[in-house]
Structures are given as C-alpha cells and as structure tokens.
C-alpha cells in the first residue's frame, strides 16, 4: 500500500517560488494498477519523483508498505529504493551495455553474487519476452523493446512498487498496447503495485483499476476508472474526455472520407 499525506513541494524560479504540489492526500492499495492523469504542468512528474525521494517534499509524509520513507536516513532510503522500481519515458538505458548488462546493472550495484545475477536476469528476460535479445545493444532495439528492457531493469531487485513516468508516451499505439499488456501481466503474476503517471486517457482506460486527476498541484478527483469515464466531476477529467472523443470522431470522419 502507498499512503500519501499532505504532500507539498515548491520550487524556486527566477519569478519566485512556485507551488507544484499542494497538500496531496492519496491511498493506493497493494496490487493495484493506479493512474495519475493530468495536463502538462499539473505536477505529475514531480509527484512520482517524490515517491522515491528523487525530489524531497517540503511537507507531508509518504508510506510505502510499512515504511515511512520520508523519515528514513540516507542508508535506510538506499535500501528502501531497491523495492521501488521506476521506468521512464526516454528509457534511460546505457548505450554501451548489452540488454543483459543493462538489466544486471542494479544487481551489481546491490552486490549480488554473479551466479544469482545471471539467474535473475534470465528470469526477467523471459518475463518481458526478450530472451533472444540478451546480447543486443540499445541501438539495435525498437522503442518497444527498449521500454521492455527498462521495465526489466526496474524489476531486477524484486520491487514491491513499480512507478511509471509517461512510459508509453514516446511509443506508437500498437507498441503502447503491448507494453500495457506486459504491465498488466506483471501485475497479475507478481501482485506488484503499479502507479502510472500519464497524460494519455486511453492508457488509463485500458490499464488502470483506479485513477486520480491532478490539476495545478491538487488532486481534484479520485476513484474507479469506470466512474471517471461515466461521471467525470473535475474540469480536467471532463476536458480530457471531451478532447479524446472529439479527436476520435475527427479521425473516424477523416478515415471515412466524410
């Protein structure tokens, strides 16, 4: 379970201090696939970076499992982060390392024995369906394959939580579908809690059980994905649905030659 209480974050800018997150309160159940949706500048990426303390909150607490990570010292936080996997929009792979070496990297940092590293990497390669690419380099992979490597690396340390920061926004629709299918499969097999940050409504609709809407640093709506689509309450949710419906209608008409 992830419990966020009164989370706030400000940044200094040339124009003064900006409130990016304003008293966020949220609870995510263990084993859930939970979406955070919002427009650019809503504070989504800052929020997810606060969850593993890549950004330190100014106020509030974050509990993951039975640990309040906002109160941990440096060594304790380092250990806690091993159980928080993260995947990124731009993959963040080492170009000079093979697929195997990219996935093995966090295990080497954690000082796993060599034989256990090989066994674990082989297991994950099978899970993400990349066993035949173990010796390939990132430049030899498609975007979807690179993201699978990113997911595999995030899973290396057997995390309890997987954080996804716009992980599909650089991918085409078919590849996005395959990655979402993979995440759903991982969630089912490992009972892994997955938090998806996205501005893509179709990602939420297809993959997430529950969702929260972030607007200018404030959670304006949260609940089941079904309730969001059937009865959106926040302005942001209504705009997302209107824009998506309008885009789909326009695309259909153009495809039909109307």
Residue burial 77-108, b: 16+ Cβ < 10 Å; e: rest: eeebbbbbbbbbbebebeeeebbbbbbbbbbe
Question: In whole numbers, what is the pLDDT of the chain averaged over residues?
Answer: 89
Q: Is the pTM of this model over 0.95?
A: no
Per DSSP (E only), the strands in 30-128 are 33-37, 59-64, 67-68, 84-88
If one compares 90 and 176, the residue with the highest pLDDT of the two is: 176
Residue 82 has pLDDT above 80, yes or no: yes
Give per-residue pLDDT as tens, 240-252: 888 766 655 444 4
CA angle 127/210/226 to nearest 5° reads 115
Residue 247 confidence (pLDDT):
55
Residue 256 has pLDDT above 70, yes or no: no
Tokens representing residue 246 in the block = 């309008």
Nearest Cα neighbor of 207 from 189, 221, 190, 194 is 194
Quick one: CATH architecture of 1-83+161-166+185-248? 3-Layer(aba) Sandwich (3.40)
What is the mean predicted confidence (pLDDT) over 178-197? 94
Q: Where are the domains of the chain?
A: 1-83+161-166+185-248
If one compares 135 and 168, the residue with the highest pLDDT of the two is: 135
Give per-residue pLDDT as tens, 210-238: 999 999 999 999 999 999 888 888 888 88
Residue 253 has pLDDT above 50, yes or no: no
Looking at the chain, the number of H-run helices and the number of E-run strands are 9, 10
Residue 52 has pLDDT above 80, yes or no: yes
Nearest Cα neighbor of 144 from 183, 105, 123, 172 is 172
């Amino acid at each position: 379970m992830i419990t966020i209480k009164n989370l706030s974050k400000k940044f200094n800018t040339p124009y003064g201090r900006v409130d990016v997150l304003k008293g966020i309160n949220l609870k995510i159940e263990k084993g859930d696939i939970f979406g955070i949706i919002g427009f650019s500048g809503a504070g989504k990426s800052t929020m997810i970076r606060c969850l593993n303390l890549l950004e330190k909150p100014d106020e509030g607490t974050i509990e993951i499992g039975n640990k309040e990570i906002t109160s941990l010292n440096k060594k304790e936080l380092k250990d806690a982060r091993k159980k928080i996997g993260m995947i990124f929009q731009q993959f963040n792979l080492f170009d000079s390392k093979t697929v195997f070496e990219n996935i093995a990297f966090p295990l080497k940092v954690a000082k796993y024995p060599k034989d256990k590293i090989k066994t674990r990497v082989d297991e994950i390669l099978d899970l993400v369906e990349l066993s035949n690419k173990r010796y390939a380099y990132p430049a030899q992979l498609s975007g979807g394959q690179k993201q699978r490597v990113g997911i595999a690396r995030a899973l290396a340390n057997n995390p309890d939580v997987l954080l996804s920061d716009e992980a599909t926004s650089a991918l085409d629709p078919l590849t996005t579908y395959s990655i979402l299918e993979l995440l759903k499969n991982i969630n089912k097999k490992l009972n892994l809690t997955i938090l998806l940050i996205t501005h893509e409504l179709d990602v939420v609709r297809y993959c997430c059980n529950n969702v929260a809407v972030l607007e200018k640093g404030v959670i304006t709506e949260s609940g089941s994905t079904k309730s969001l689509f059937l009865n959106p309450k926040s302005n942001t949710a209504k705009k997302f649905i209107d824009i998506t419906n309008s885009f789909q209608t326009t695309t259909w008409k153009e495809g039909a030659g109307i």
